[in-house]
Structure 1
Amino acid sequence: MANYLKLYPIPEDYRFHRGGQISQGLLAYETWGTLNEDQSNALLILTGLSADSHAARHGEHDTAGWWDYMIGPGKAIDTDQWFVICASSLGSCKGSTGPCSPNPKTGQPYRFDFPDLCLEDIANTSVLLCQSLGIEQLQAVIGPSMGGMSALALILNHKNYTRHLVHIASGMASPPFSTAIRSLQREAILKDENFNQGYYSATNWPEEGMKFARKIGMLSYRSAKEWNDRFPRSLKKVPQHPFGIEFPVESYLEHHANQFIHKFDPISYLYLSRAMDWFNGHQYGTPRGANPLNDISLHSALVVGAETDLLFPVDLQRELHHLLLDSGVDSELIVTDSIQGHDAFLVDQQTFSQLVGDYLSASAV
């Protein structure tokens, strides 16, 4: 993977959406396929909160990416046809500059000195990256989950920069239930004694806070219907201590939480989580209450949701679909019956490959 990872230097004069700036900022990104002569085959993928630039493998000896089934030669996002760009979000801990990165002025991590991060910043720096590659306009921007909100931030702030949109499991703003979930995750991290106001270390890591944050998240990523099918009601084992793990679903949560603890930086998690809750696509409507998408120039859009998604319920996708139609965009809404909840776009390979592949093929005509 290291051979394919590239670094884009963010311009020194870049100003964050809520104010502030950083020096010597970088975006870590990867590309697949070949940009054609008129730069008309570029697709930008904007990621979910914890995903990175490695969306797919680059060859048989490379490690699998987080969307490996979707991207590659002959796949739904066919890299024989499309030039695909995916960056680790600004603010993350996956190679791009974020609050855990060294501040060039001090040599120490920014921690809470990092500027307030918004999804608009992720969108704006992604556009700057694409422009640095010579891309004057994208064929499509594709965003699942947080990436769907970042894609809307891009469209609302760069109205002519993409011809098409693939918006998956997301919405114009976070609903109260989702904000409540993320608020509890942030609280779990902040209250871990090892968090120490951001001055933690590898040897004093806020493990419990990160573990509980992940477990809370897992409750919202999948559906109760799927869990009914996967986990038997019978006890798994005799717990090692009173009220210890004894049900299969508890083991599932414990396993995934332990895998995640050291894979993501706690302050980056806080910043990105808050950025999701801050985003409000409705505020772009002028005058107040007007359709915020009225003056965008999309040719078409595909809006996809899952009936079992708790985190971004299908009402959000229906709302976006109608806003797009009202603004004159040729929008198609598809609500799947996938039982995997919010994570369906990661695991229901057949359904989502078909939807994305068919849409991109039609958009190329």
Structure 2
Amino acid sequence: MEHRVAITGLGAISPVGNTAAETWDSLRAGRVGIGPISKFDASGSKVKVAAEVKGFDAREAFGVAEARRSDPFVLYALVAADQAMADSGLDREGAVDHERLGVYVGSGIGGIQTTVANEDVLRGSGPGRVSPFLVPAMIANMASGQVAIRHRCYGPTLPVVTACATSSHAIGEAFRAIRHGYADAILAGGSEAAIMELAVAGFANAKALTRNPDPVTACRPFDRGRDGFVMGEGAAVLVLEELDHALARGAHVYAEVMGYGNTCDAYHMTSPDPEASGISRAIGQAAAEAGLDAAEGLYVNAHGTSTKLNDLSETRGLKAALGEGAARSAKVSSTKSMTGHMLGAAGAIEALACAKALEEGVVPPTMGLTDPDPDCDLDYTPLVAAEFRARWALSTSLGFGGHNAALVLRSFEG
């Protein structure tokens, strides 16, 4: 028996808001969360801007001890998970069997800030001064583990690490686990906190990041002048829940998850397949499982990183998978133009945007898009949000290593 899967809770801490509601309001309004790098002295860096979380004090939120022994990526995940649990109502006593409550929260990079800080301690003061919390703070599964501990999630727990496709894969795998009866609800998403000197230098030297110092135009997906992505950070967690379970307890349903695709380009370590065969197959898998009919109204939250190769490949992939006519009739946008690229958290923040777009009938804009690339010729919703009553939403994610993920959501009609 296959079960229907609902989204019943949303949580986020992002460059455009420290709650899911603030984040969505900013995305609707076209607020750009990109600014000068403040996390480290970037005077010697080729890259001057990033999309940082703002106004978050970990010591105030968790206390000094917890803040010191956990990497920021873990703390961000806990913030988003707390919000999602409260929003769903699953934090109430008796709302769920905790042996059937799981956590699929991944990270593309994990605790790199803690790792580098302790390397400095090791070189400066010797091995005896390295923190005993180094390993549990650095390993990429610890966001999932800490969320499970905090919310007594004894069910299936599966952190995913597929670079920038991480949290889309986490949501997709959680969808499958619930669909096939292995859990009643799963906290699914991703977290990232990699705005630090080493990571920025690595991405910059791989020629992945923009060197444009202007926060307004640094990230401009599908624009002729795009030249790389902007690093972002934060976390997003969604509560996925078996639909009958959700309805029986009177939960609010934002949307349904209907389909999931998972493929690999098997082409290059960092570049997408220029023929877009991998992402088009992922979209095709998700669309077929969902029974997606673009004629009923389709919103696409594109991966849209603002890199030359990705945006072009993705445009080709959408046309190949959906058909030229359906791709042109869809409303497309890249919310990375506002949040920057949140790496392992990107897919989850974008799935959140899809759920809210379906619920409210509003497509968030692609900011910075003023001079469209003639080879990227779909309707990318430039600069201003659009009212659009879509029945379907498609979210696409592409990660280093050739990982591709596609999620299809459908509006919930009761």
TM-score, length-scaled by structure 1: 0.32
Q: TM-score, normalised by structure 2?
A: 0.29
Structure with the bigger RCO (C-alpha within 8 Å, sep 6+) is 2
